[in-house]
A and B are shown apart, each in its own frame.
Chain A
Amino acid sequence: MANVAAMCTSFKQELLNGSHAFGTQGANGVRTVTTKDVFKLALYLVSGSRGVADTIYDTTGELAASGNYTQGGVTLTNATVPTTTGTTAFWTPSASAQWTALTSSGAFDCAVLYNSSSTSKLEVAVFTFGSQTVTAGTFTLTMPTNDATNGLVRIA
């Protein structure tokens, strides 16, 4: 198997259930979400099999907890609330994700975005890139331009 970029199918259902708060919710007669959820990004080995059928974050295929990598990944900076342009809604973390003093436990090519605030760590999407290793170094993942064409999570 291989890691395959995708927006998880379960995430689409969870949006309809109101399971994710990338920003804060507007007034609602039943409930009001006044705080945003925390979203994290975790790295996965090329031998992983993350993809569209994923439902929750788990450590299967994730970089080992060695070489200064903490399983679960890093918290994303979320200072920019979701917005729209035309008929597309989009959201992108407002800063790069970075791992420092890292020695990866193997080659990796995948980052999984998930909702760390949710009890079961609901998975949002899988992003892939060329296979990399890091040795006593820094891995930086810079986000795409936050617009309707390039944003990290887009709903058209």
Chain B
Amino acid sequence: MMIDTIHGPRDAATLEQREGVTDTEAERTTWIEYWQGGELVHRSVHVTLKVWPAGLGALVGRMG
């Protein structure tokens, strides 16, 4: 699989892959990084907005 990097497309097999997840009341975020020789060459992020936390939800949603 080819990965777009700051140096152009690279074979994923030649890169170090790192992944992470953050899951809170407000969001679920996943990220994936590819490193080459200690350099970050690709980072993608997917944020899923969830229900806003209590209080903040009221602030966002209420007219009153």
**Residues of chain A whose beta carbon lies under 8 Å from any beta carbon of chain B:** 5-7, 12, 52, 88, 101, 103, 125, 127-130, 132-144, 149-150, 152-156
Taken together as a complex, chains A and B put the C-alpha atoms of A152 and B27 apart, in Å, by 12
Q: How many A-B residue pairs have CB under 8 A?
A: 91
Check if A137 sits within 8 Å of B47, measured CB to CB: no
Across the interface, do B61 and A154 meet the contact criterion of CB distance under 8 Å?
yes
Q: Tell me the minimal C-beta distance from A68 to chain B in angstroms.
A: 11
Show the binding face of B for A, using Cβ within 8 Å.
Answer: 4-6, 22, 24, 26-27, 29, 31-33, 40-52, 56-57, 59-63
Are B59's CB and A155's CB within 8 A?
A: no
- Return A127 CB to nearest CB of chain B, in Å: 7
Give the CA-CA distance A130 to B32 in the complex, in Å.
15
Least Cβ distance of B51 to chain A in Å?
Answer: 4
Q: Is the interface of A mostly helix, strand, loop or mixed?
A: strand
Residues from chain B with a CB closer than 8 A to the CB of A103 are 6
Q: Which residues of A contact B41 (CB under 8 A)?
A: 135-136
A-B contact pairs, 8 of them (CB 8 A): A5-B56, A6-B59, A130-B24, A136-B4, A136-B41, A137-B32, A137-B44, A144-B50
Distance in angstroms between the alpha carbons of A6 and B55 in the assembled complex: 11
Given contacts A134-B44, A135-B41, 11 further A-B contacts (CB under 8 A): A12-B63, A88-B61, A101-B4, A125-B60, A135-B43, A136-B42, A137-B42, A137-B45, A138-B44, A140-B45, A153-B61
Q: How far is the CA of A102 from the CA of B60 in the complex (A)?
A: 29
With beta carbons under 8 angstroms apart, the residue of B5, B40, B50, B63 that contacts A150 is B50
Interface residue from B5, B31, B49 paired with A127 (Cβ < 8 Å): B49
A132 close to B61 (CB less than 8 A): no
